[in-house]
Amino acid sequence: MDNLMHAIETQGKALDSDVLLVDSFLNHQVDVSIMEEAGETFAKAFAGVKIDRVATIESSGIAPAAFTARALGVPLVIMKKQTSRIMTGEAVHVPVRSFTKGTVYELMCKKAFLPEGDSVLFIDDFLASGEAAFGAMKIFEMCGCQLAGIGILIEKSFQAGREKLQEKGIRTVSLARVASMETGHVSFLPADA
Ligand code: G4P
């Protein structure tokens, strides 16, 4: 997706060789046109695949996932990182370690929003080591759902996530694949869509 790659090139800042700051269009301020195009691109890429709902993890996955759900005409489910005091009903929980942030959080979803037998497309902003994706997949499995595929805005291809998903035979569509971020310059691999 050229607009996304252009935004990464012109607005993204490599904080070091591992972390890309994209808070001007993705993580803090949001470029809604790019998110809308991303949603439409994911919907096209997964056309023909049975998708009953789209799921993401709060917070930065919500914008692209919402446009994907809209384009596919299915509900969006936002998996939570914090339990709420007003939560009712049965929920599933999985601990997820964030290597980038050095924290562990409890990923949570109400079973009622991931009905058994449904096919779920997982959308997220970044793919790094794949911990969030594997946590989400564990949640789907605990709810009796199938994974339809994974859509990622920015894949850091120099980290292990993509390879781990490929080893499991999981179809992953990344709209921007960052090969390296040396000396402030971002280089890309060919995107999946
Ligand atoms: P992983 O899930 O692929 O293993 O990734 P990791 O644990 O390393 O990432 C955890 C969090 O850090 C995620 O956000 C992810 O989106 C974000 N992240 C990973 N690499 C980068 C990067 O290079 N740049 C930026 N800006 N973020 C990165 P999160 O905790 O879910 O935060 P948010 O969705 O609330 O923004």
For residue range 89-115, list pLDDT tens digits in order. 899 999 999 877 789 999 999 999 999
Taking the C-alpha atoms of residue 77 and residue 3, their distance in angstroms, rounded to an integer, is 26
What is the CA(120)–ligand 1 centre distance, in A? 21
Taking the C-alpha atoms of residue 69 and residue 40, their distance in angstroms, rounded to an integer, is 9
Beta bridge partners of 57: 79
Residue 103: enclosing H or E segment and its boundaries?
A: strand 103-110
CATH second-level architecture of 2-189? 3-Layer(aba) Sandwich (3.40)
Closest ligand 1 atom to Cα of 22:
26
For residue range 117-176, list pLDDT tens digits in order. 999 999 999 999 999 999 999 999 999 999 999 999 999 999 999 999 999 999 999 999
Please give the pLDDT value at position 109: 97
The answer on pLDDT for 1 being more than 90 is no
What is the CA(126)–ligand 1 centre distance, in A? 6
Share of the chain residues as helix, strand and coil, in percent rounded to the nearest 5: 35, 30, 35
The answer on pLDDT for 85 being more than 90 is no
Please give the pLDDT value at position 87: 74
The answer on pLDDT for 67 being more than 90 is yes
Residue 86 pLDDT level (bands cut at 50, 70, 90)? confident
SS3 135: helix
Closest ligand 1 atom to Cα of 135:
2
Ramachandran bin of 61, using left for φ above 0, alpha for ψ from -120 to 50, beta for the remaining angles: alpha
Residue to mutate (ligand 1; options 94, 126, 155, 163; most atoms within 8 A of CB)? 126
List ligand 1's pocket residues with C-beta within 6 A: 19-22, 27, 57, 59-61, 98-101, 125-132, 156, 161
